[in-house]
Structure 1
């Protein structure tokens, strides 16, 4: 059985609402990581985030906290089908230069939404809402 590494940055993370979607297909958490400094992050109505790749060095480009999971290749479609509309699978570059598959947002999804890049990740943003 072949597997792939998948970087997740929101509700698929450990302990959050959609982690079950990963566990149901036999995915295994591998490690926490940061992306390369070429992403921005938005809150989609405080329900889930959307991470968009931008040019390295572009204004607002930052690192985003992610979790890397090993997922059976045949389970990837099932996980993607259960993601909110506007989220898809793309390539994500990690801080160490490794490129893995990852959950990314379509640019149209973030129009008019709150940018939360400065929080560094979805968990940090959620913590800020508790205050």
Structure 2
């Protein structure tokens, strides 16, 4: 059983925090990172999920966003994420602003730790959803880099 960081922890400032893994538009340098900054979050580390996830570029989201889905019946891969400490006092508002088909659930990291993180409803990545499978890129930033390299 993995260690759990998804419970309330105490940051170096002694304020209760929640460890949150972000995978796409909230990463450093991405268009929604300001929401983490506004919530008073602190960057902890860049790491990977356990190899039990698949990553998709969601259709028709603005700004563009990925969807991370845990898989059981088919192979997954480690996906690049960033872990942030979000103050408990602002975590609820941050979660309330997460639009469907995304949500906050529990992610398993490559280290074996379990943290809260962005997950995606399976219906948003179904065969008829328009989502594009991008697991082979290993993360959202690598996928975006590939688009730039191909002139998109």
What band does the TM-score fall into relative to the shorter chain? over 0.9
Aligned match of 2:76: 61
1:36 aligns with 2:53: no
1:49 aligns with 2:63: no
Instruction: Tell me which structure has the larger Cα radius of gyration.
Output: 2
The two structures have a TM-score, normalised by structure 1, of 0.93
Aligned match of 2:141: 123
C-alpha distance in 1, partners of 2:114/2:33? 22
Aligned match of 2:6: none
Flag structure 1 segments of 5+ consecutive residues without an equivalent: none
C-alpha distance in 2, partners of 1:35/1:104? 12
C-alpha distance in 2, partners of 1:77/1:108? 25
C-alpha distance in 1, partners of 2:124/2:20? 21
- Show structure 1 runs of 4+ deviating over 4 A: none
Give the structure with the larger strand fraction: 1
- Alignment RMSD: 1.3
* Match of residue 93, structure 2, among 49, 55, 78: 78
The two structures have a TM-score, normalised by structure 2, of 0.80
Deviations 1:74-95 (A, max 9, x none): 2222222333321101100110
Any conservation in 2 of the 1:2–1:72 contact (CA below 8 Å)? yes
C-alpha distance in 2, partners of 1:115/1:80? 25
